[in-house]
Amino acid sequence: MRPWCVRGFLVVLALGGWSGMAWGEESAERVPDRMRGEADMERWYAFTPEADGEGACELDMGDWLEAPAGRHGRIEARGGDLYYDGQPIRLWGLNLCYRSGAAPSREVADRRAALYRRFGINSVRLHKWADGPGWAGIQVEDSAVGFDPEALDRFDYQNAQFRKAGIYLKLSQAFGTIRVGRGDLARVPYAEEFGALEGPDARVGGGNSTLYYSRELQEATIEQLRAILRHRNPYSGLTYAEDPAVAFVEIVNEASILFYTSMEPLRRSATLRRRVAGQFSDWLRGRYGGQDGLVEAWGRRALGSFSNEVAPPDGEAEHLDRRNVLPLGNPWFWDPQQLSGSQQFRRQRLLDTLEFLHTLQGEAYERIVAGIRGTGYAGEIIASNWHAGRMFSHYANLHTDQVVGPVDRHNYFGGGEPPRIDNASMVRVPGSGVLSTGMEQVAGRPFMLSEWIHVFPNEWGVEGPAIVGAYGMGLQGWDVSYLFQNQDDGRFSGRIGRDRWDATAPQVLGIFPAVARQVLRGDVARSQVRAVRHVHLPGLLAGRLGFEDTVGSPDYDVRTFDSDRVPSRALAVARCEVEFVETQRDTPTFDLGPYLEGDVHVASTGQLRWREGATRHDGHFTIDTSATQAVVGFAMDRPAPLGEVAIILRSRFGAVYVTARDRDADLASGRHWLLVAMARARNTGMRVDDDSVLVERGGPPVMLEAVVADLQVRRPGVFVVELLDHGGRRTGRTLPVTDGAFRIDGSRDRTPYYLIRREGD
């Protein structure tokens, strides 16, 4: 990273509660016990960010985003990085889904473009915009490959506004395998084998594994993507294929032939069952020469052993001469524990099936990529973003994804079904939760996390951008992040829990003025120490890997990853990668020892320190770089003497950032800082008992938890701390500063935003 000149700092805090002690002193005035655990709602205040995307303000990052997007050409992958105009680029974004997200009114589109630009959001993943007609997307009533003119016009307008604002696009058209309508029966004659097309707007598709078995659905996908890529946006004057603002095209969301849905298309469709059995039988004949060779390799017991799951297409016993042997399995069957246990009797059958399905998936991607390239589109292409079990099926799936282009994955944290709250915190365990998805990063490929967020009603959402920003986009060198949501109205959310996934909730979007600066400026250095797992594809397909992974799946799309040779805690200290190698190589055990100081994991760069927690609401980390310094987590009364600033949280939980305000700045000599204080957020009247039970949801306005922290500027000069309003504009009100020391108290100040500047500036 090139050195920066400095004009200012930006300081961001996110905490809760207070203790009332002066800088660096032991407290004689202790916080009442009732304020240390459950939140004291009397100290919360209403958040009312009027016109939060308009007018001059101290938060604004508009001059950080070069406009229009793609002014100097395309973003392109070079090895494991994304480059734009000869320089590395990081994309920090969010999702917009369905018609309300992808094709809103012009008023909403204008507000979004302004808000996103202001908060440093330089990319949007347009997701599920072609999932159906009506609310589901911009399709015409009876076909998946045609677009409704009015909806398409709204789609075009918003995308042009994003382009003008310097915001790049990722096109992700549907939830999974394309779902066709009555007007598509000529394209997919057997579509109704997946279900009846009873209404004029009905859709069927067969599930998330179907795409890879069906040439017809692959061709329909190509036709759909070609239709949008060849369409000329009247507001930009460019086709989507020509427009360099379109940085990524995604083939299919959350799908794999190797997932648990692998057998379902063959069970439902007689056409595919017959066709795929013939293909697999021919493939097996090429490998084993005939039925005798197959029986010798598989064992007689393996033949016919899946009849209860999916019967052969002709109802006869499996035999290569009948071309009726089916490739059947799923991640449970391919799991090493099963292959050496209950499935030992058909181990070779399952491994052959894995290899054959891996080939089908790769061929499908190759075919669709060629169709996309035929439009003239020269940007990056993403295969899919799903995790297919563990070990053999997982790495076979990951291999096909990385062949296509950048690797993309999804993960979520928290949630629960109210009144129960899954209210754990990711800071407790280094490398856990969403960050553990980095165990799927592949050497030599850019990496993105295109769906992730703390799911409502989990209350620690502010830690998500902090962890992903510092450890994911920084230490791990990830390239792209998209927080998940379905839609927003171009403003902060006016109610907590308006959706389970809410990227514009105040405790999430409110931290962006700090984290987006840290990410886009590249403040946290990538680790030069690598913790690598070696995967040899031929060995993998033969059932040899050389290490043991675990995957915990407490809920849909919520996963934690770990490995015996490279534990997920390594994500807190070194760059973790999967490397696909040409010859079998051992995976060395990564030694965490040199990076441990008691319960603290110290990053190889020296810039990050993560203290492991003893309970689910314990643990914190610090950031100490030239342009961003921070404390995040449960760090009450724990001094953090960083480079240009020392911080002591006087609160149970917090995320306190000090970051240079301007793009060409660091903390050594800047004269203007921004302070943003954000903790938990609740609705008025919302009640949570014991951090685990949502008793009352409440309603608007949103209340912010008060922030208290002591800060000491560790550089000469006289500083003024000025309160900003909720839109980030100056108020003229100031706080006392003594020899560079000052206290933030949100219950007194009634604002999350402050400007810190040298006296006289």
Q: Is residue 25 part of a domain?
A: yes
Q: Which residue's entry shows tokens 């120490």?
A: 529
pTM: 0.94
| Coil vs helix vs strand at 483 | strand
Whether the per-residue pLDDT at 32 is higher than 60: the answer is no
Dihedral over alpha carbons 266, 268, 274, 277 (to 10 degrees): 10
- Are 238 and 244 contacting, i.e. CB atoms less than 8 angstroms apart? no
User: How many Å apart are CA 649 and CA 617, to the nearest integer?
Assistant: 15
Whether the per-residue pLDDT at 555 is higher than 80: the answer is no
User: How many Å apart are CA 603 and CA 572, to the nearest integer?
Assistant: 6
The pLDDT of 195-214, averaged and rounded, is 95
Q: What is the pLDDT of residues 615-648, one digit of tens each?
A: 989 999 999 999 999 999 999 999 999 999 999 9
Q: What is the pLDDT of residues 98-114, one digit of tens each?
A: 999 999 999 999 999 99
HSE-CB for 376 with a 13 A CA cutoff:
13
Whether the per-residue pLDDT at 4 is higher than 60: the answer is no
Whether the per-residue pLDDT at 336 is higher than 70: the answer is yes
Whether the per-residue pLDDT at 344 is higher than 70: the answer is yes
Structure confidence at residue 752 (pLDDT): 87
Nearest-5° Cα angle at 519, 514 to 525: 120
Residue 339 φ then ψ, to 5°: -60, -30
Residue 734 φ then ψ, to 5°: -125, 165
- Are 407 and 441 contacting, i.e. CB atoms less than 8 angstroms apart? yes
- Are 650 and 637 contacting, i.e. CB atoms less than 8 angstroms apart? yes
Question: Which of 72-81, 632-641, 651-660 bottoms out in mean pLDDT, i.e. has the lowest?
Answer: 651-660
Q: Is residue 111 part of a domain?
A: no
Mean pLDDT (the chain, rounded) = 92
User: How many Å apart are CA 258 and CA 395, to the nearest integer?
Assistant: 10
The residue among 317, 341, 358 that closes a domain is: 358
Q: Is residue 731 part of a domain?
A: yes
**What is the maximum alpha-carbon separation in the chain?**
90
Residue 575's beta-bridge partner residues? 530
- Are 486 and 502 contacting, i.e. CB atoms less than 8 angstroms apart? no
The pLDDT of 68-78, averaged and rounded, is 98
Residue 126 φ then ψ, to 5°: -85, 110
User: How many Å apart are CA 98 and CA 583, to the nearest integer?
Assistant: 45
User: How many Å apart are CA 220 and CA 272, to the nearest integer?
Assistant: 16
Structure confidence at residue 29 (pLDDT): 35
Consecutive H or E run containing 332: helix 331-334
Q: How far is CA 65 from CA 34, 113, 168, 559, 568, in A?
A: 45, 12, 10, 33, 34
User: How many Å apart are CA 678 and CA 755, to the nearest integer?
Assistant: 15
Q: What is the pLDDT of residues 418-431, one digit of tens each?
A: 899 999 999 999 99
Question: Which of 320-329, 456-465, 522-531, 702-711 bottoms out in mean pLDDT, i.e. has the lowest?
Answer: 702-711
Nearest-5° Cα angle at 327, 323 to 328: 135
Is the bond leading into 68 cis (omega within 30 degrees of zero)?
A: yes
The residue among 328, 358, 388 that closes a domain is: 358
User: How many Å apart are CA 379 and CA 364, to the nearest integer?
Assistant: 19
Q: How confident is the model at residue 330 (pLDDT cuts 50, 70, 90)?
A: very high
Q: Is residue 121 part of a domain?
A: no
Give the count of domains, the chain.
2
CA 205 to chain centre: 26
Which among 134, 282, 102 has a CA at the least distance from the CA of 203? 134
Q: How confident is the model at residue 656 (pLDDT cuts 50, 70, 90)?
A: confident
The pLDDT of 503-532, averaged and rounded, is 97
The residue among 325, 358, 391 that closes a domain is: 358
Q: Is residue 289 part of a domain?
A: yes
Question: Which of 527-536, 556-565, 609-618 bottoms out in mean pLDDT, i.e. has the lowest?
Answer: 556-565
- Are 200 and 142 contacting, i.e. CB atoms less than 8 angstroms apart? yes
CA 68 to chain centre: 25
Q: How confident is the model at residue 54 (pLDDT cuts 50, 70, 90)?
A: low
Whether the per-residue pLDDT at 405 is higher than 70: the answer is yes
Q: What is the pLDDT of residues 216-230, one digit of tens each?
A: 999 999 999 999 999
Taking the alpha carbons at both ends of the chain, their separation in whole angstroms is: 29
The pLDDT of 139-145, averaged and rounded, is 98
Range of the domain at 330: 268-358
Consecutive H or E run containing 523: none
Whether the per-residue pLDDT at 61 is higher than 50: the answer is yes
- Are 691 and 617 contacting, i.e. CB atoms less than 8 angstroms apart? yes
Q: Is residue 695 part of a domain?
A: yes
- Are 639 and 646 contacting, i.e. CB atoms less than 8 angstroms apart? yes
Tokens of 11: 């300081």
User: How many Å apart are CA 120 and CA 101, to the nearest integer?
Assistant: 19
> Positive or negative CA dihedral for 535, 541, 545, 549?
positive
User: How many Å apart are CA 56 and CA 433, to the nearest integer?
Assistant: 37
The pLDDT of 402-412, averaged and rounded, is 98
In three-state form (DSSP H/G/I as H, E/B as E, the rest C), the secondary structure along 92-115 is EEEEEEHHHHHCCCHHHHHHHHHH
Consecutive H or E run containing 732: strand 730-735
Question: Which of 121-130, 357-366, 561-570 bottoms out in mean pLDDT, i.e. has the lowest?
Answer: 561-570
E runs forming strands in 564-636: 575-581, 596-597, 600-602, 608-611, 619-624, 628-634
User: How many Å apart are CA 120 and CA 520, to the nearest integer?
Assistant: 8
Dihedral over alpha carbons 742, 747, 751, 757 (to 10 degrees): -10
Q: How confident is the model at residue 558 (pLDDT cuts 50, 70, 90)?
A: low
User: How many Å apart are CA 277 and CA 267, to the nearest integer?
Assistant: 12
User: How many Å apart are CA 327 and CA 565, to the nearest integer?
Assistant: 32
- Are 231 and 242 contacting, i.e. CB atoms less than 8 angstroms apart? no
Q: Is residue 661 part of a domain?
A: yes
Residue 693's beta-bridge partner residues? 420, 689
Structure confidence at residue 52 (pLDDT): 58
Q: How confident is the model at residue 675 (pLDDT cuts 50, 70, 90)?
A: confident
Nearest-5° Cα angle at 251, 192 to 128: 70
User: How many Å apart are CA 429 and CA 117, to the nearest integer?
Assistant: 33
Between 760 and 602, the higher pLDDT residue? 602
Question: Which of 17-31, 647-661, 718-732 bottoms out in mean pLDDT, i.e. has the lowest?
Answer: 17-31
Whether the per-residue pLDDT at 128 is higher than 80: the answer is yes
Tokens of 501: 């996934």
Buried b (16+ CB within 10 A) or exposed e, 162-198: bbbbbbbbbbbbbbbbbbbbbbbeebbeebbbbeebe
The pLDDT of 289-303, averaged and rounded, is 98
User: How many Å apart are CA 299 and CA 276, to the nearest integer?
Assistant: 22
Query: For the chain, what percent of residues have pLDDT higher than 90?
Result: 85
CA 724 to chain centre: 31
Which among 184, 168, 180, 174 has a CA at the least distance from the CA of 240? 168
| Coil vs helix vs strand at 90 | coil
Query: For the chain, what percent of residues have pLDDT higher than 70?
Result: 93
- Are 508 and 453 contacting, i.e. CB atoms less than 8 angstroms apart? yes
In three-state form (DSSP H/G/I as H, E/B as E, the rest C), the secondary structure along 418-433 is CCECECCCHHHCCCCH
Structure confidence at residue 758 (pLDDT): 83
Between 260 and 53, the higher pLDDT residue? 260
Which among 30, 116, 108 has a CA at the least distance from the CA of 69? 116
Dihedral over alpha carbons 135, 136, 137, 143 (to 10 degrees): -110
User: How many Å apart are CA 140 and CA 144, to the nearest integer?
Assistant: 7
- Are 450 and 480 contacting, i.e. CB atoms less than 8 angstroms apart? yes
Structure confidence at residue 51 (pLDDT): 60
| Coil vs helix vs strand at 518 | helix
Structure confidence at residue 559 (pLDDT): 63
Consecutive H or E run containing 677: strand 672-677
Nearest-5° Cα angle at 743, 601 to 618: 30
